[in-house]
Structure 1
Amino acid sequence: MMFDRSVPGHGTGTASGATDAAGRRLLVVADSDSYVKWGAALASTLPPTWRVQLVVLASPVQPSPAQLRHALAGTRFSPSQAEVVHLDDLDGLLDVFDPHAVLLSLRGPFVRVVAPLLEGRANRPVLVSGFPGLTIPAVPKAVIYREQTDLVVLHSRREVREFRANAAELGLGTTFALATLPFLAGAPADPATDAAKAGGEATPTLDGGRTAEAAHATSAPRVDGPARTDIVFATQAKVPASREDRVHLLGGLAELARRRPGQRVVVKVRARRGEAQTHDENFDYADLLPEVDPPANLVVEDGPMAEKLATAAALVTVSSTAVLEAVALDLPALVIDDYGVTPAMINVVFEGSGLIGSTVDLVEGRFKAADAAWLADNYFHAEAAADWVRRLESFVEARELVPLRPLPRRRDLSGGLLRSAFERRRMLGDHDRSLLGSVAWGVGVPVRGAVRRVRRLRSRRARGGAPVAAVQRTPGWTAVAAAGTSADGGRVPLDMAEV
């Protein structure tokens, strides 16, 4: 589609003057499939008086047409309304649409590239950023990447608490706002409050936190809506990372499928071969599937998660926001801990949730229900607690009175213009048209490789060079990992902080 250029009286990039709420406009600028999904879904929760448009920046991670369709399913946008634009053309589009606010639904390093371009505009728009998924533990670099935005949207009381602490330690005045993850349609208002109203205690549980309903949920379809018989495995591009761990996990799913021939076990993937994702995926589950001699009822499918959950009896993952979508639908779930519960596995947020279990639990069909107190602090707060729209509108109202000040970059990257050009090229890839970007890339790639090698050597020396013990896996469907397998030691990988 062509970008909507029908807004009367705009296009100069000058101050818009006071407007009422009905005249407010938000532009969503997104890059990868998960950020398109989050940005579109979050914008869809704005009051209907807001006029919203969405563009996707041309980059190596831009979604394919199929991914775009899946990402926009259930939002106020259709694929024809999501124009792919080059970063160099963004300024002209802003002249035309003249938004009051821009949601930078981008990976952290991309926010750092785009935000300064918008800050230089006369009467610049309010700049908003955020995250499409789980951000616990909150890492300082995630705040630094977004320091040039006015408002950072988070999705749990715990996230807001931890990010505010990080910003205070860094000396940043970043404003954080609370929203409900837009994928959680039908979420309970506040599980802890509901439990208290029911008599002060959560639902009695069996088998370490699993409710009686959860214990039997995979053996009988529900009567409301479509039959819920599938067991869905929500993949994550980054974890588990090793080929051996992925084959092991597929082996557990295959064994579960053999024991339940009347149910489908669905490996739900975010991308097919050749499609980009927010994070690179080195080992494709579909490619690995033949190694576990899969039964016919173990299948690999893509598509919107909501579609898969509509026929799901339970959900399993290593780390995915799909767990929260399942909980919102009152489905039992399981977060696999065979490969560790560490920041590197992006699953420490589930500690205390009651959802963590092993591949033994998976094979035995022991799915779990979440702890009510954990839910209240993690993503299932009361609707009234969400304040992101109110904070956004406060910024817009302030902008209508006095132009917003530039946000100082307090954590400058070393390297000056050459480093900035390198970061731009890193985000845009072959879509970068600048000569300086090509020069910076030619110089920066070897330098970055050398820096990373030095960091790895320092990390090994700090650990004393001792090998990390192998994670013990359940025998029976795959070989035990070789001793001395290296691991990250709980350190958050750089690119996890970058999202």
Structure 2
Amino acid sequence: MNAELRVVAIADADSFVKWSAALLDAVPGISRHMLLVRTPLTVSREQEHMALAGTVFGTDSVTRLGFDELTGWLNGHLPDVVVLAGRGPFVRLVARVIDRLRRRPVVVSGLPGMSIPALRGALEYRRESDLLVLHSHREIRAFEVLADRLGLVVPMALATLPYARPASARGARGRASRGRAEGSDAVGTPRSHSGGVLVAERERRGTDLVFAAQALVPAQRHEREELACILRRAAEARPNRRVVVKLRSRPGEAETHLERDAYAELLANRPANLVLSYEPMALALARAEGLVTVSSTAAVEAIARGVPVIALDTFGVEKRLLNTVFTGSGLLAGADDVVARRFRHPDPAWMQDNYFHAPEQSEWWMRVEELVMLRRGGALPAKTVPTGRGGALRAAWHRKSVLGSEDRSLAGAVALGVGAPLVDGILGMRRARGRAGEDTWSDATTDYTLEPRPQRDPVRR
């Protein structure tokens, strides 16, 4: 293409801001901007700074605005491409705005981390996208099967998960203007390629055991208490080395998923070498001997930097824990391995199918450019959001449930009062019907599920 494409990411929650910024940071020759829409999940200024660290996004390329300002901004700037970066209901709400624009951009959406199992809601809320970006061959297969089961046609394309790129390839333009906050020089890890798979040299080694905390898993309080106990044991076993609990949000800040039984509470009384950290994951990994997680995408970031990993299997390996993706990786291990710091490096065959495919196999931006040409030529029909059952009342409930206090309409308040119990009832019935059997969370034979999440994870907080 001759002209520089104008690309805008529209986001709110922390993980989606980090993902969309890193995704677009890797695309050369485009004009980038980030719109942060005010919702209950919108990143704080500090979270924004951490999410954008190491990318070309600076204060002049980020705009905070209310939802009602979105149409005017987009009509005034006429982007060629928008990347919808938020949870499903947010994506659907913004897609309705795009339906009303005077010039329709190409609509791209995606998920901010490892997405096995493929979830029904993740696909259905993004069904109006012109392209769904996924990050591994395994994810592509899972979402294609899921789409077939649901009777949906959603174009998909493969991208390299931003955190799976070597540190030397991330944020090169950003580091030129911001210093070396996140690059390979800061981490000190040279890189090479072997058989098309990214492999990190394993000479550099830090001393911290870094635990990547997650809001959703494990879900039960007794499980989180047991995990806190494992971390205490690890700290007490090596009092001269730190155990770093890497948290996503400070008290009062929101994050993508609602956290219950926070580690800051569970670890209120802890050894001096067991510390809580809110720094960017890249900085934590720069000092890491190894990473421990149940199922965080931080494992991929660690592997890319040559940091060994333990994917904790103390609570099992099953879809509800979001850790079936590690089956066959060689990374699964238990509590005693964490305490003894017996970290692992992944199996190369697993890497090729899971996030570490050869760079030339990432096709998403080429597909985007093709779609832009088709839209400019009038050959790409708009995929508009249908009105659906419930009409205006449902639309008002959807808007209120996403925007929370930012929506001050009477219709939203009324719709929320009527709709919230109804939705809870519908989801409860679906969960009750799907506790066992094919295509559910308990079905270990598939990489997808048609059943709602077992955890209640409201957008409203």
TM-score bracket for the superposition, by shorter chain length: 0.7 to 0.9
User: Is 2:301 aligned against 1:325?
Assistant: yes
Q: Which residue of 1 aligns with 2:211?
A: 233
Whole-Å separation in 2 of the counterparts to 1:189 and 1:159 = 25
Q: Which residue of 2 aligns with 1:349?
A: 325
User: Is 2:325 aligned against 1:384?
Assistant: no
Q: Structure 2: 5+ residue runs without aligned partners?
A: 168-190, 443-450
SS of the aligned residue for 1:276 comes to coil
Whole-Å separation in 2 of the counterparts to 1:87 and 1:367 = 45
Q: How does 1:94-243 map to 2 (within 5 A)?
A: 94-186=74-166, 193=196, 228-243=206-221
Contact residue 72 and residue 79 of structure 1 kept, 8 A: no
Whole-Å separation in 2 of the counterparts to 1:406 and 1:280 = 34
Q: Which residue of 1 aligns with 2:235?
A: 257
Which piece of structure 1 moves more, 87-96 or 53-62?
Answer: 87-96
User: Is 2:251 aligned against 1:273?
Assistant: yes
Contact residue 343 and residue 492 of structure 1 kept, 8 A: no
Alpha-carbon offset, residue 139 of structure 1: 2.4
Alpha-carbon offset, residue 497 of structure 1: 12
Cα 1:396–1:456 change in 2 (3 A) is closer
Q: Which amino acid aligns with 1:117?
A: V
Alpha-carbon offset, residue 397 of structure 1: 1.1
Cα 1:129–1:194 change in 2 (3 A) is closer
Q: Which residue of 2 aligns with 1:62?
A: 42
SS of the aligned residue for 1:233 comes to strand
Q: Which structure is larger by alpha-carbon Rg, 1 or 2?
A: 1
Contact residue 318 and residue 337 of structure 1 kept, 8 A: yes
Contact residue 310 and residue 338 of structure 2 kept, 8 A: yes
List per-residue Cα deviations over 1:367-401 (Å, max 9, x = no partner): 11101100000000000000011000001111221
Q: Structure 1: 5+ residue runs without aligned partners?
A: 1-19, 196-201, 204-212, 469-489
**Equivalent of 1:337, from 313, 316, 327?**
313
Whole-Å separation in 2 of the counterparts to 1:298 and 1:320 = 20
Q: Aligned residues, how many?
A: 425
User: Is 2:93 aligned against 1:93?
Assistant: no
Contact residue 68 and residue 79 of structure 1 kept, 8 A: no
Cα 1:42–1:282 change in 2 (3 A) is same
User: Is 2:396 aligned against 1:415?
Assistant: no
Whole-Å separation in 2 of the counterparts to 1:240 and 1:194 = 31
Cα 1:158–1:459 change in 2 (3 A) is closer
Q: Which residue of 2 aligns with 1:361?
A: 337
Alpha-carbon offset, residue 453 of structure 1: 4.7
Whole-Å separation in 1 of the counterparts to 2:429 and 2:146 = 27
Whole-Å separation in 1 of the counterparts to 2:55 and 2:73 = 22
SS of the aligned residue for 1:22 comes to coil
Alpha-carbon offset, residue 408 of structure 1: 5.0
Q: Which amino acid aligns with 2:454?
A: P
**What fraction of aligned residue pairs are identical, expressed as a percent?**
43
Whole-Å separation in 2 of the counterparts to 1:182 and 1:455 = 34
Whole-Å separation in 2 of the counterparts to 1:24 and 1:374 = 36
Which piece of structure 1 moves more, 304-313 or 443-452?
Answer: 443-452
Whole-Å separation in 2 of the counterparts to 1:456 and 1:99 = 40
**Equivalent of 1:311, from 287, 299, 310?**
287
**Equivalent of 2:400, from 411, 414, 425?**
425
**Equivalent of 1:244, from 190, 204, 222?**
222
Q: Which residue of 2 aligns with 1:4?
A: none
Contact residue 258 and residue 458 of structure 2 kept, 8 A: no
Alpha-carbon offset, residue 406 of structure 1: 2.1
SS of the aligned residue for 2:118 comes to coil
Contact residue 12 and residue 38 of structure 2 kept, 8 A: yes
Cα 1:388–1:497 change in 2 (3 A) is farther
Whole-Å separation in 1 of the counterparts to 2:116 and 2:284 = 26
List per-residue Cα deviations over 1:462-485 (Å, max 9, x = no partner): 79xxxx9xxxxxxxxxxxxxxxxx
Alpha-carbon offset, residue 257 of structure 1: 1.2
SS of the aligned residue for 1:183 comes to helix
Whole-Å separation in 2 of the counterparts to 1:157 and 1:22 = 32
Q: Which residue of 1 aligns with 2:25?
A: 44
RMSD over equivalenced CA pairs, Å = 2.7
List per-residue Cα deviations over 1:349-382 (Å, max 9, x = no partner): 1111110111121112211110110000000000
Q: Which amino acid aligns with 2:354?
A: N
Whole-Å separation in 1 of the counterparts to 2:230 and 2:279 = 23
SS of the aligned residue for 1:330 comes to coil
Whole-Å separation in 2 of the counterparts to 1:391 and 1:496 = 33
Q: Which amino acid aligns with 2:417?
A: G
Contact residue 138 and residue 354 of structure 2 kept, 8 A: yes
Q: How does 1:393-412 map to 2 (within 5 A)?
A: 393-402=369-378, 404-409=380-385
List per-residue Cα deviations over 1:205-250 (Å, max 9, x = no partner): xxxxxxxx9xxx8xxxx5x5xx611110001111112222112111
SS of the aligned residue for 2:90 comes to helix
Q: Which residue of 2 aligns with 1:10?
A: none
Alpha-carbon offset, residue 116 of structure 1: 2.2
Whole-Å separation in 2 of the counterparts to 1:78 and 1:164 = 36
Alpha-carbon offset, residue 120 of structure 1: 2.9
Alpha-carbon offset, residue 57 of structure 1: 0.7
Cα 1:79–1:297 change in 2 (3 A) is farther
Q: Which residue of 2 aligns with 1:71?
A: 51
Q: Which residue of 1 aligns with 2:176?
A: none
User: Is 2:9 aligned against 1:33?
Assistant: no
